[in-house]
């Protein structure tokens, strides 16, 4: 049976200049925070909308765990930051449309 997913529009407190390094550090920080439940999230950063906004895909059953983890995450690789969950949607297209209205 196919696993249902949700998409989150997330804003970072600092600009993301190097996407590859950010993704590596972001996943490491979440793994350290959540533990082995991290692998159940089926987490993937789908797109970068702006320099500090991006879309994350997550398993529907674990969306609340991800939101709480993002709320309590205060740094990514010794750089202080914060993460706000702006919107949630069942499709990436709907979330991109909503993101265009929020960011502009």
**Residue 70, domain CATH:** 3.30.70.3250
Asked whether 12 and 75 are in contact (CB, 8 A), the reply is no
Which pLDDT value is given to residue 103?
66
Torsions phi, psi for 75 (to 5 deg): -155, 150
- 33 domain-assigned: yes
Judge if pTM exceeds 0.85: yes
- 73 domain-assigned: yes
| Domains contained in the chain, number | 1
For residues 63-100, one letter each, b for 16 or more C-beta atoms within 10 angstroms of the residue's C-beta and e for the rest, the string is bebbbebbeebeebeeeebebebbebbeebeebbeebe
pLDDT digits (tens, 9 = 90+) for 20-67: 999 999 999 999 999 989 999 999 999 999 899 999 999 999 999 999
What is the DSSP annotation of 20-40? HHHHHHHHHHHHHHHGGGGGG
pLDDT band at 5 (very low <50, low <70, confident <90, very high): very high
């Amino acid at each position: 049976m196919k696993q249902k997913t949700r998409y989150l529009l997330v804003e970072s407190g600092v600009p993301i200049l190097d996407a590859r390094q950010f993704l590596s550090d972001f996943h490491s920080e979440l793994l350290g925070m959540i533990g082995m439940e991290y692998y159940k999230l089926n987490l993937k950063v789908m797109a970068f909308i702006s320099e500090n906004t991006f879309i994350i895909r997550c398993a529907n059953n674990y969306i609340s765990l991800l939101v709480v983890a993002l709320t309590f995450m205060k740094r990514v690789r010794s750089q202080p930051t914060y993460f706000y969950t702006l919107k949630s949607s069942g499709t990436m297209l709907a979330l991109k449309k909503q993101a265009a209205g929020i960011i502009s």
